[in-house]
Structure 1
Amino acid sequence: MHAKSPSNAGSLLIAAISGRALAAAARRAGYRPLVADFFCDTDTVAFGERIVETLRQLAGDDRPVAIVLGSGFERMTETVDEVARHFPLAGNSGAAIRRIKDPQLLAADCAEIGIPHPEFRWSRPPDPENWVVKTAGGAGGTHIRRAAGETPILHCQAPGGRYFQRFVAGRSISALFVGDGQSADIVGFSQQWASPAPAAPYRYGGAVRLRRFDRRQAAMIRGWLSGLVRRAGLVGLCSADLIRGPDGYKLIEINPRPGATLDIFDDADAPLIEAHLRAAAGRTYHLPRFVDSMASMVTYAAAPIAQFPSIAWPEWTADHQSPGTRLIAGDPVCTIFARGPSADLTRRLIKGQASRLQHQWEGDRT
């Protein structure tokens, strides 16, 4: 799907599996987003071959300020390099992405810097019940499984392969940050939760922006991230996934792009897309400050829907399914937003909104 939005500001090319959040952030920053959404298997060769031509057609005679790449490119770093040869890339190079998304290099960097990080291995562990198995470069949680259910056939160190990481129990925390190639500047912290499905026990569910976070712990995490930023040369908006357990924080992985929490951290007075563009160009930037909490949540179809009904979508929703669409169980239906004075209250509020909205399409299901 391709979309253009009229504006008198400069244009910004956006490419992602789903570019809606980036497009909204671009508009808040005063840019005219030219969006290429690729709802497809991004591992296919066809995707890499056609994206540059698609972006050229989308831009037309425009001279975009830059191109911002969202989800879907972590396992296609050659495509990132190809895009950068044709458009001014605002974000991480293919080399930086390859470095930070290589699980073996990340584990080594964490060990050298002194960042607590789960044990990593390519081969199946003798105690698989204590491990998860992941896809290098995967995103969204759908690629993560408990290792106890995997067949013992993995002995691969190829990029994009499967690997094992020791399971860490605790609270899932994400840090949204801006890198300038030398240090990290934290935008804020959020708590995330999963929306488990039979084939995807760690599928992404939602996130709530934390109004408060311990300053000493924030400074410690910023130091960790600055070390990784220097190692990989990360620039622009990125995020870090961490687990807080009884013995403190462990860093799980880095996402070298604007991620799922962009919606809940963006601000019209200090637009994050502007910070992303300026940091990527080596210029100074401003970050927003928050006095409340905000949450976003993806809702999924609990059962097959032969024809999705026509719904009067509330203003606090986005990414809507179209009327008449046939859905299978587990398909995303929409994204929901809520704002409140605290993280706990906002999370309760958004789950109530999701439940009420779900009754609409389940009641009309045919």
Structure 2
Amino acid sequence: ISQGIDCEKIIGILSRLMGDEKPAALLYGSGFERQPEVIDALGRVFPLAGNSADTVRAIKDPANLSQLCRSLDIPHPPIQFSLPEKPEGWLTKLGGGAGGSHVRPGATRPALPGYSFQKRMSGRSISALFLAQNGAARIIGVSRQWSSPSPTSPFRYGGAVRLMRFDRQKKMQMGCWLDKLTRHCGLVGLCSADFIDGSEGLHLIEINPRPGATLDIFDTDSAPLLIEHLRAVRGERIEVPVYRGAAAAAIAYTSRSISCFPDVKWPNLTADHQRPGSALGPGDPVCTVLAHARSASAAERAVKRRVNQVAQHWKEEFQ
């Protein structure tokens, strides 16, 4: 969602799509964290199935999250709002940003409004998908993430793989921290938490208070997680699925401008397709690619290979 979104326009579009039918619930995804007032506006018209704007404000404000983590004894990288004395070891991030495209090395950007500096932590990027209900967080699963760097977005989100195994003690520690944050902030439904797992242990990086990108690798026909999300929001009994094997999902981006996107015959295990005729700039997302395998490493290799294969469908059009 871009800055300066017209709330009334969105409400009008949704109202026309629904016609005379009253929706059971309206779910929102990524992009609203920077403008929680849009969530407020939608909630005045439609029954929202998700976290309130106040909860989003509390959990996505960098200073508030940092203070929360200190008070709840949760390891979190130091942050500040002025240029660090030695910015090489810091990152600059946009408050409420998503997808990693807003993250830059601290030495490359001055202190701009809406941005903060966060100490850079070394280690693996880990995400926990969880269901929040009645002050408790139930972890659905853990995934490992990777970036897909571009010249302008060195930390752009690349993809994630569902892990078949994860250290039991670390998972219990995650659950304890997420319980605390869920109780304190009133989190509900599907959420995710990003961590860095390094030599200094786990550090919580951020909370995404809505269904996110890793939903693709945990959602199945036999265990549709949006149903569990609705149950959690309504206070009904929820169940955590049991998974076999590994799954991975990655974003395919275009590396160059495309004035008129071709009509692609999309292969299986792809989603979120760009529409024919769309105008794309360098680095725009084209589709999501999925893969399954017996191990996490095999699933990650498979999905990265499929991203390169799928990209041929539009690269060939412009050679």
Question: Is the partner of 1:169 in helix, strand or coil?
Answer: coil
Deviation at 1:324, TM superposition (A): 4.0
Deviation at 1:275, TM superposition (A): 1.0
Deviation at 1:356, TM superposition (A): 1.8
Give the Cα separation in 1 of the matches to 2:317 and 2:134.
51
Question: Is the partner of 2:44 in helix, strand or coil?
Answer: helix
Question: 1:231 aligned to 2:191?
Answer: no
Give the Cα separation in 2 of the matches to 1:54 and 1:132.
38
Rate the CA distance shift 1:75–1:326 in 2: closer, same or farther, 3 A.
closer
- Point out 4+ residue stretches in structure 1 off by more than 6 angstroms: none
Give the Cα separation in 2 of the matches to 1:277 and 1:327.
35
Give the Cα separation in 2 of the matches to 1:326 and 1:52.
26
2:55 to 96, 117, 132: 96
Question: Is the partner of 1:165 in helix, strand or coil?
Answer: strand
Aligned amino acid, residue 56 of structure 2: I
2:153 to 173, 183, 200: 200
**Partners of 1:271 and 1:287 within 8 A in 2:** no
Q: How does 1:274-293 map to 2 (within 5 A)?
A: 274-293=227-246
Residues 192-227 of structure 1 show CA distances to partners (whole Å, capped at 9, x for unaligned) of: 111111111111111111111122211110000110
1:272 to 211, 225, 229: 225
Deviation at 1:181, TM superposition (A): 4.1
Give the Cα separation in 2 of the matches to 1:360 and 1:49.
38
Give the Cα separation in 2 of the matches to 1:314 and 1:358.
11
2:31 corresponds in structure 1 to 72
Question: 1:44 aligned to 2:11?
Answer: no
Give the Cα separation in 1 of the matches to 2:63 and 2:94.
12
**Partners of 1:142 and 1:203 within 8 A in 2:** yes
Question: 1:255 aligned to 2:208?
Answer: yes
2:80 corresponds in structure 1 to 121
Task: Tell me the percent identity.
Answer: 47
Give the Cα separation in 1 of the matches to 2:277 and 2:189.
39
Question: Is the partner of 1:309 in helix, strand or coil?
Answer: coil
1:244 corresponds in structure 2 to 197
**Partners of 1:308 and 1:365 within 8 A in 2:** no
1:56 corresponds in structure 2 to 15
Give the Cα separation in 1 of the matches to 2:8 and 2:2.
11
Deviation at 1:134, TM superposition (A): 0.8
Aligned amino acid, residue 32 of structure 2: F
Q: How does 1:303-318 map to 2 (within 5 A)?
A: 303-318=256-271
Aligned amino acid, residue 129 of structure 1: E
Deviation at 1:231, TM superposition (A): 1.1
Aligned amino acid, residue 107 of structure 2: A
Aligned amino acid, residue 336 of structure 1: V
Deviation at 1:113, TM superposition (A): 1.4
Rate the CA distance shift 1:67–1:322 in 2: closer, same or farther, 3 A.
closer
Deviation at 1:108, TM superposition (A): 1.1
Give the Cα separation in 1 of the matches to 2:33 and 2:309.
36
Give the Cα separation in 2 of the matches to 1:358 and 1:129.
34
Give the Cα separation in 2 of the matches to 1:51 and 1:61.
17
Q: How does 1:126-165 map to 2 (within 5 A)?
A: 126-151=85-110, 153-154=111-112, 161-165=114-118
**Partners of 1:209 and 1:265 within 8 A in 2:** yes
Rate the CA distance shift 1:292–1:60 in 2: closer, same or farther, 3 A.
same
Question: Is the partner of 2:100 in helix, strand or coil?
Answer: coil
**Partners of 1:132 and 1:164 within 8 A in 2:** yes
Task: State the TM-score, normalized to the length of structure 1.
Answer: 0.84
Aligned amino acid, residue 44 of structure 1: G
Deviation at 1:58, TM superposition (A): 1.5
Deviation at 1:357, TM superposition (A): 2.0
Give the Cα separation in 2 of the matches to 1:42 and 1:305.
21
Question: Is the partner of 2:102 in helix, strand or coil?
Answer: coil
Tell me the C-alpha RMSD between the 2 structures. Answer: 1.5
Give the Cα separation in 2 of the matches to 1:131 and 1:332.
27
Residues 329-348 of structure 1 show CA distances to partners (whole Å, capped at 9, x for unaligned) of: 21212111000101100011
Gaps of 5+ in 2: none
2:45 corresponds in structure 1 to 86
Question: Is the partner of 2:261 in helix, strand or coil?
Answer: coil
Question: Is the partner of 2:189 in helix, strand or coil?
Answer: strand
Task: State the TM-score, normalized to the length of structure 2.
Answer: 0.96
